[in-house]
Amino acid sequence: MVPSSVGGDAPIAELVPHIRLRGVSKVLRTERGAEITALTGIDLDIDNGSFVAVVGPSGCGKTTLLNQIAGLAEPTEGEISVRGRPVRGPGRDRGMVFQADALFFWRTVRRNVEYGLETQGLPRAERKEYAEKYLKLVGLMEFADLYPKELSGGMKKRCQIATVLANSPEVLLMDEPFGALDYPTKCQLQEQLLNILAREPKATVFVTHDIEEALFLADRIVVMGKGSIRRIVDVPFTKPRASDLRVDAKFAEQKAELWRALEGWLTAADETADA
Amino acid sequence: MSDLRGLRHGSGNRLTGLLVAAVLVAGWWLAAWSVADPSGRSSPLLPSPADVFEAIPRLSVFAGPGTPQTFGNAFWVLLVNTVASATTLFGGLLCGGALGIGLGLVLGWNARLRRMFEGPFLVVRVIPLFALLPLFLSWFGGARIGSVSFVAFAVFSMLFVNTLEAIRNVDPVARVFARTLGASPLRVYRTVVIPAIVPELAGGLRVVLGLAWAILLAAEFLAAQSGIGRIMILAQQYFDLSRMILIVLLIMLYTYALDQVVSVCVARITRWVPRI
Ligand SMILES: Nc1ncnc2c1ncn2[C@@H]1O[C@H](COP(=O)(O)OP(=O)(O)OP(=O)(O)O)[C@@H](O)[C@H]1O
Ligand SMILES: [Mg+2]
C-alpha cells in the first residue's frame, strides 16, 4: 500500500519495470469517419531506471504513444507489456503527466496532490507528509490551499507533476511537462526530476520539443516522425548529471550535431515514406 | 482592484434595485389615485398601497368565519398557510430531487445502461407539465399528497435530464487522470464525476426551484385545502383585490428570499469553478 520508495533510499529489487512495445500501431478515427494512422510498427524497450526522451514534430504521434503505454487506448495492432504483463487499461503503476490540464478543480492544490495517496488508502498524516514533500519540490507549498483556478498555467502544470510524482509510479510518462515554464524553473525542475529518479529508479518516457532538455535528461532520445521511430540516439553523458553540464562544450557540440541531423532524418524518411 | 470594482458593482446593483422598486410603488400609487372616484375612495379594481396595508387584518377571515380581524390573527393565517406551502414545496423538491438525481446517477454510471433507459425516461421531457395537473387532481383530489407528487414529478423530470447532461459534460481528462493515479471506475465516479457535476446541478436546481414554486401555486389554486395559493383563490372569491395584491407581494417576497438563499449557497459550492 505504501509507495515503495518515498522516504526509502534503496531501490527495491522486485520493482523492475520494463516497458516493451512490439509492432505497435494505432489507427484513430475522426468524427467524420476518416482514419488517421497515428502510430505504425513501433518497437521499443525501456529498462527500469532508464530515461527515454521522445522528440518529433507536432502531430507525429507522441501523445498517442504515451496513451497506449498508459493503457488509455488499446493499440490497433501490436503488444505492449510492462514488467512482462500485457497492458490492459490504466493503472497506478504507470503515472502520466498529461499535455492538457489534468486537475481536480474542486480540490485545493494540496488535495489534488493527495488524490493518488487517498486512493492507496494512506492515513491522513502520511498523505500530508508526502503531499508537502512534492509540493515543496515543485515550489507550490505556499499555494497549497488555493484552488487550481487560482494558479497560472505553469503552476497548474507543476501541480499535476506533483500529483503524479507523489503517487510514486513505477513507470513515468510525461507529455511536455515543462513546456509551459520559464527557463530557470524548467532547469530547476529538470534537476529535481533527475534527483528523484536517482533515488527511485523508474522507467521514464518524456515527450519534449526541447532538444537541450532531451539531452540533459535522457539516456536515449527517440526521434519520431509521422507515426514511426526514425532514429534512436544514445546520449553519451553519464549520470548523475550536474547542472553545469548545460554549459559544457561537449554538451553544446552534441546539441548542435543533433540539430543538424534531425531535419535530415525526418525529411529523408518522409520522402521514402511518401514515395 | 478587482475586489473594489466588485463591491462597487454590488452596491450599485442594490441601489438600482431599490430605485426601481420605489419608482414602481410610486407608479402604482399614481395609477390608483388617477382611477379613484372624486370622493377619494379608490376603485375596487386598483387599490392603492394604503388600501392594501389596511386589508391586512381582513386576512384573519381565512382562519374561519367569525375570527376577529386583527393583525395578530392575520399573521397567524399567513404563517399557517406558508408552512403548508413550504412543506409541499420542500417535500416535492426532496422526493423529486432525490429520485431525479439518483436515477440520473445510476444511469450515468454506465453507457450501456444509459442507452437502454435514457430514451424511455426522456419522454418526461415532452410531457406538458401543466396539462398533467387535472390528472393529478383526479388521482389525489384536494389532498396535499396530490400537490406534493405533482411538484415532485416536475422536479424529477427536470433534474433527471439535468443530471445526465451534467455527467456527459464532465472533463474526460480528469476522469482519465484519476484512473492513471490508480482509482477504480467506481472511485472515479464517486470522487471525480460527482463533484464535477455539482455546479451544473446547482444551476439546474436554481431554475427548478423557481419553477417548482410556480407549479405549487398552480396546484394550490386548483385544489388544496390550505397554502398560499389557496388563500389567493379565497381572496378572489371575495373579489377583494387588496388582499389578492397582498398575497402577490408576499409571494414576491418569498421568491426573492428563496433565490437569495439559494444563490448564496450555490456561490459557496461552486467557488472552485474556473471563470474567465
Ligand atoms: N482523438 C483523436 N481522433 C482522431 N485523430 C486524432 C485524435 N487525437 C489525435 N489524433 C491524430 O493523431 C495524430 C497524432 O496526434 P498526437 O496527439 O499523438 O500528436 P503529438 O505528437 O502528441 O503532437 P504535439 O506535439 O502537437 O502534441 C495527429 O495526426 C492527430 O490528428
Ligand atoms: Mg502531444
How many C-beta atoms lie closer than 10 Å to residue B249's C-beta? 12
Is residue B95 over pLDDT 60? Answer: yes
Inter-axis angle of helices A183-199 and A153-166, nearest 10: 0
Give the distance from residue B175's alpha carbon to the nearest chain A alpha carbon, in angstroms: 9
A61 lines ligand 1 (CB under 6 A): yes
List, in sequence order, the alpha helices (H) in A41-174. 62-70, 109-113, 115-119, 124-137, 153-166
Residue A11 grid coordinates = 531501490
Q: Using an 8 Å CB-CB cutoff, list chain B residues near A163.
A: 181
Is B77 in contact with B226 (CB distance < 8 Å)? Answer: no
Residue type, A204: T
To probe the interface with A, which of B180, B189, B268, B275 has the most A CB atoms within 10 Å?
A: B180
Closest CA to B246 of B238, B256, B235, B237: B235
Question: Residue B5 — pLDDT band, cuts 50, 70, 90?
Answer: very low
Q: B113 in helix, strand or coil? A: helix
For the ranges A128-142, B3-17, B156-170, B198-212, the lowest mean pLDDT is seen at B3-17
When mean pLDDT is compared across A61-65, A192-196, B172-176, the lowest value belongs to A192-196
Q: CA of B171: which chain A residue's CA is closest? A: A102
Query: With 80 as the cut, is the pLDDT of residue A3 above it?
Result: no
- What is the pLDDT, as a whole number, of residue B163? 93
Average pLDDT, chain A: 89
- Measured on CA atoms in the order B70, B71, B77, B79, is the torsion positive or negative? negative
Q: Domains of chain A, with CATH numbers? A: 1-83+210-275 (3.40.50)
Could you tell me if the CB of A55 is within 6 A of ligand 1? no
pTM of the model: 0.85
Ligand 2 mean position to A59 CA, how many Å?
Answer: 7
Which ligand 1 atom lies nearest to the CA of residue A62? 21
- The pLDDT tens digits for B23-46 are 998 999 898 888 888 887 888 888
Asked if residue A8 has pLDDT above 60, the reply is: no
B248-256 mean pLDDT: 90
Has the ipTM of the complex gone over 0.85?
yes
Sign of the alpha-carbon torsion through A209, A15, A101, A24: positive
**For B36-140, where are the alpha helices, taking DSSP H only?**
49-54, 71-109, 111-122, 129-140
Higher per-residue confidence, A16 vs A66: A66
Considering chain A, what percentage of its residues have pLDDT values greater than 90?
Answer: 73
Cis preceding linkage at A240, omega within 30 = yes
Reply yes or no on whether the pLDDT at A14 is more than 80: no
CA dihedral A198, A200, A201, A203 (to 10 degrees): -120
Q: What per-residue confidence (pLDDT) applies to A213?
A: 95
Cβ pairs bridging A and B (under 8 Å): 73
Give residue limits of the domains in chain B. Answer: 1-54, 72-269
The predicted model gives B201-215 an average pLDDT of 88
> Reduced to 3 DSSP states, what percent helix, strand and coil does chain A have, rounded to the nearest 5?
40, 25, 40
Neighbouring residues of A130: CB distance < 8 A, sequence distance ≥ 6: A3, A6, A114, A117, A122, A166
Phi, psi of A22 (to 5 degrees): -130, 115
A106, A149, A167 member nearest B196 (Cβ): A106
Instruction: Name the CATH topology of B72-269.
Output: MetI-like fold (1.10.3720)
Nearest CB neighbour to A92, from listed B173, B182, B192 = B182
Mean local confidence (pLDDT), B94-103: 94
Residue to test with chain A: of B175, B181, B184, most A Cβ within 10 A? B181
Q: What local confidence, expressed as pLDDT, does residue A274 receive?
A: 57
A104, A120, A149 member nearest B182 (Cβ): A120
For A247-265, the pLDDT digits (tens) are 989 999 999 999 888 888 8
pLDDT tens-digit series, residues A194-241: 998 998 889 999 999 999 999 999 999 999 989 999 999 999 998 889
pLDDT over 50 at A63, yes or no: yes
Say what the pLDDT of residue A32 is.
92
At A184-197, the pLDDT tens digits run 999 999 999 999 89
Q: What percent of chain A has pLDDT over 70?
A: 91
Summary mean pLDDT of chain B:
86
